Amino acid sequence: MEEKFNTLNRFVGLISSFTRNIVRAVNSTEVFNALKETISKILDFKEIMIFRYEDGNFIPFDEDEKKEIDPELKSLMDWVAQRKSSSIQTLGDEFILLMPLIKGMRMLGVVVGKLAINLEDLKQEDMDLINFISFQASIILENLFLYEELTEKSESLERLSAQMKQLLDSMLYAIVVYDRDMNEVFKNKAYQSIGDLPNELRMRISNLVERCFSTREGITEEVEISSDSSSSFYSISVIPILFENEEQVMVMMMDVSNTKELERLKRIDELKNEFIANISHELRTPLAAIKAYSETINDSIDMLDPETLKEFVEIILDQSNHLEELIDELFDFSRLESMTFELNLEEFDLVSAYREVVNALEELASSKGVKLIFDESGKIPIVADRKRVKQVLTNLIENGIKYSDPNKDEKYVKVHVEDGDKEVKTTVEDNGIGIPKEYGDKIFERFFRGGNVLQRDVSVPGTGLGLAIVKKIIEHHGGRIWFDSEVGKGTKFYFTLPKRRGN
């Protein structure tokens, strides 16, 4: 009776001590050490080895035991893992205790002990105690393994997150991530360094983000943000992303103003070279005609009849006038560029001035089969530079005539004037070939010649400065100019002029 009591007391003590140790354990190493220590107190072992079971492989728990496992021992451990119960087997001339660590159907590991006692000294109660302790250890180990796996994954995610943040912070793009409520849930260093965004840019980003949430498709745009003194260009890409099952939108933005400026300067340089070649041709044409007819008159004046002589002189006069117009246009542009251009303001009737322009261009329009229509109204008094205003209308009507559609039976250019309280709006409409959208921003640029891109099969004379000068003249008056156009249907140019200087 006393022996049973002592045995029970011993078992309770061992279980209690083991339980306290494993409950306090914070990792699998502490559980394995407690397990080794406790089963060593139950039975005498020459050696105890513990193997962790991972992906079908047995991995020694002790660093010193991380050597190649004996094939016969490996075979025994595989057999115990399949059987899922403790067993004593012989290995050479030794008895080996094989104790699987199992929780549910999950194999966690195997305890291998080389017994230092004879089999007849082995008691069933000792085996029951070892099995119970292994069961307790398995419960704790499973939880610790899960915790370690979660910790490892969490640390891996943290490392990945840190690497991703470092990568995003190293990018030149300013990056910000928005949630559905338009909260900024992530900002990289480049975005943070910008500070407060211009309101217009912030609104454009907000609109793009909302569109992206709505369509779930990426969008890339280049936007121009204008201030009082300059313009800035931004390349903006918005991309839908999913983070922890939450829909978000990532915005990537870069200031490309310097790139745009280089592109603009390069384009101007190309246009300037083209302009030099073109203006040389434009100047040479009337000069060649003047020279040829002058030489003919000089060499053959006695042989020319009065009619022929008069025709030659008229051609020389006409080409001289054309040459004068080209030179005047160059001088106008030079003065406008150097800011030495001055307006000669006077009060006059705008409708009368427009009538003079229309009358002067009737012959040109008729020669091209174009009908010139002027919607006349009553007098409109205005204070402006009469000569320059007539120059603006002349240029716009001439363009409408030049770029008339040769495939249309009925061609026209219409001029319409609307009188307002403070300004006058003029519309010049044609049913010509129209202006492609891709050239819309270039029409008012200096050196740009519409004939190069709008009518490739037709030679259209001009310096490429006409509309640039028109725009400058109108802006000097305090007005503005714009247009609507559709290829194949025609173009409408609109411009406004204040009725009094300063309005």
Within-domain flag for 161 = no
For 35-69, the pLDDT digits (tens) are: 888 878 878 888 888 888 887 788 887 755 556 78
Structure confidence at residue 273 (pLDDT):
62
Three-state SS sequence of 301-363: CCCCCHHHHHHHHHHHHHHHHHHHHHHHHHHHHHHHHCCCCCCCCEEEEHHHHHHHHHHHHHH
Return mean pLDDT, the chain.
80
Position 265 pLDDT exceeds 80: no
Asked if 350 and 493 sit in the same domain, the reply is: yes
Average pLDDT score over residue span 9-26: 68
Asked if 31 and 142 sit in the same domain, the reply is: yes
Asked if 182 and 224 sit in the same domain, the reply is: yes
| Residue with more model confidence, 255 or 381 | 381
Structure confidence at residue 297 (pLDDT):
81
| Residue with more model confidence, 447 or 304 | 304
Average pLDDT score over residue span 317-334: 70
Confidence tier at 179 by pLDDT (50, 70, 90): very high
Domain limit, last residue, from 101, 119, 151: 151
Cα 38 from Cα 35, distance rounded (Å):
5
Structure confidence at residue 31 (pLDDT):
78
CATH code for the domain in which residue 114 is found? 3.30.450.40
Asked if 265 and 248 sit in the same domain, the reply is: no
Reference 290, options 267, 268, 270, 319; nearest CA is 319
Structure confidence at residue 80 (pLDDT):
83
CATH code for the domain in which residue 326 is found? 1.10.287.130
Residue whose tokens read 């101007």: 268
For 469-497, the pLDDT digits (tens) are: 888 889 989 999 999 998 889 999 999 99
Average pLDDT score over residue span 297-311: 79
Within-domain flag for 282 = yes
Weakest mean pLDDT among 46-55, 150-159, 347-356, 482-491: 150-159
For 106-120, the pLDDT digits (tens) are: 788 888 888 888 877
Average pLDDT score over residue span 25-34: 76
Structure confidence at residue 99 (pLDDT):
85
Asked if 185 and 294 sit in the same domain, the reply is: no
Within-domain flag for 392 = yes
Structure confidence at residue 503 (pLDDT):
43
Asked if 357 and 468 sit in the same domain, the reply is: yes
Structure confidence at residue 423 (pLDDT):
93
Confidence tier at 448 by pLDDT (50, 70, 90): low
The residues that bridge with 97 in the sheet, in sequence order, are 88, 113
- Sheet strands side by side (includes 411-419): 370-375, 411-419, 423-430, 490-498, 480-486
Position 3 pLDDT exceeds 60: no
Tell me the three state secondary structure of residue 289.
Answer: helix
Within-domain flag for 381 = yes
| Winning range, highest mean pLDDT, from 133-137, 244-248, 257-261 | 244-248
For 388-419, the pLDDT digits (tens) are: 899 899 889 988 998 898 889 899 999 999 99
Within-domain flag for 159 = no
| Residue with more model confidence, 2 or 223 | 223
| Residue with more model confidence, 218 or 55 | 218
CATH code for the domain in which residue 229 is found? 3.30.450.20
CATH code for the domain in which residue 444 is found? 3.30.565.10
Weakest mean pLDDT among 121-125, 331-335, 387-391: 331-335
Asked if 357 and 490 sit in the same domain, the reply is: yes
Position 156 pLDDT exceeds 90: no
Asked if 87 and 218 sit in the same domain, the reply is: no
Within-domain flag for 12 = yes
Asked if 6 and 20 sit in the same domain, the reply is: yes
Within-domain flag for 503 = no
Position 461 pLDDT exceeds 60: no
Q: Are 98 and 11 in contact (CB under 8 A)?
A: no
| Residues whose CB falls within 8 Å of the CB of residue 208, separated by 6 or more in sequence, listed in order | 219, 221, 236, 238, 251
Please provide the distance, in angstroms rounded to a whole number, between the alpha carbons at the two ends of the chain: 120
Structure confidence at residue 413 (pLDDT):
95
Position 20 pLDDT exceeds 60: yes
Asked if 361 and 464 sit in the same domain, the reply is: yes
Structure confidence at residue 40 (pLDDT):
80
Structure confidence at residue 490 (pLDDT):
92
| DSSP sequence for 7-68 | HHHHHHHHHHHHHHHHHS--SHHHHHHHHHHHHHHHS-EEEEEEEEEETTEEEESSGGG-SP
The 10 Å Cβ neighbour count of residue 137 is 27
Within-domain flag for 162 = no
Position 23 pLDDT exceeds 50: yes
457: domain range?
346-498
Largest separation between any pair of C-alpha atoms in the chain: 161
Weakest mean pLDDT among 194-198, 355-359, 475-479, 484-488: 194-198
Domain limit, last residue, from 255, 272, 306: 255
Average pLDDT score over residue span 445-470: 60
Structure confidence at residue 452 (pLDDT):
47
Position 435 pLDDT exceeds 90: no
Domain limit, last residue, from 119, 151, 183: 151
Structurally, the chain folds into a number of domains equal to 4
Asked if 241 and 266 sit in the same domain, the reply is: no
Distances (CA, A) of 293 to 265, 286, 303, 306: 42, 11, 14, 14
The 10 Å Cβ neighbour count of residue 52 is 18
| Winning range, highest mean pLDDT, from 28-32, 108-112, 289-293, 461-465 | 108-112
Buried b (16+ CB within 10 A) or exposed e, 448-479: bbbbeebbeeeeeebbbbbbbbbbbbbeebeb
| Residue with more model confidence, 427 or 166 | 427
Phi, psi (rounded to 5 degrees) for 448: -80, 125
Confidence tier at 455 by pLDDT (50, 70, 90): very low
Asked if 325 and 411 sit in the same domain, the reply is: no
